[in-house]
Amino acid sequence: MITRRIFDSDHDVFRDAVRKFLMDEAYEQHAEWEKEGQIDRNFWYKAGEQGMLCPGVSEEYGGVGADFRYNMVIA
């Protein structure tokens, strides 16, 4: 196994939070969203509340101002 050296412990905590969020909020609904051809709007609201949408946006504009590595964790 290759050890990742670009992430720190804060990214690891965020990765766990993203994983838990997706399991709690998306896993069971995924098949329905595929059938409907869209993701429920409430999912996006919840993801935004958790700082999982555009984490690199500065606080000045309503974001959390995180570094690009947080985008990589989400992806």
**What pLDDT shows up at residue 5?**
86
Share of the chain above pLDDT 90, in %: 83
9-74 architecture in CATH? Orthogonal Bundle (1.10)
CA distance 9 to 49: 22
Dihedral sign, CA of 37, 17, 47, 68?
Answer: negative
> How would residue 63 be classed by pLDDT, with cut points 50, 70 and 90?
confident
For residue range 32-59, list pLDDT tens digits in order: 999 999 999 999 999 999 989 999 999 8
Averaged pLDDT score across all residues of the chain: 93
* pLDDT more than 70, % of the chain: 99
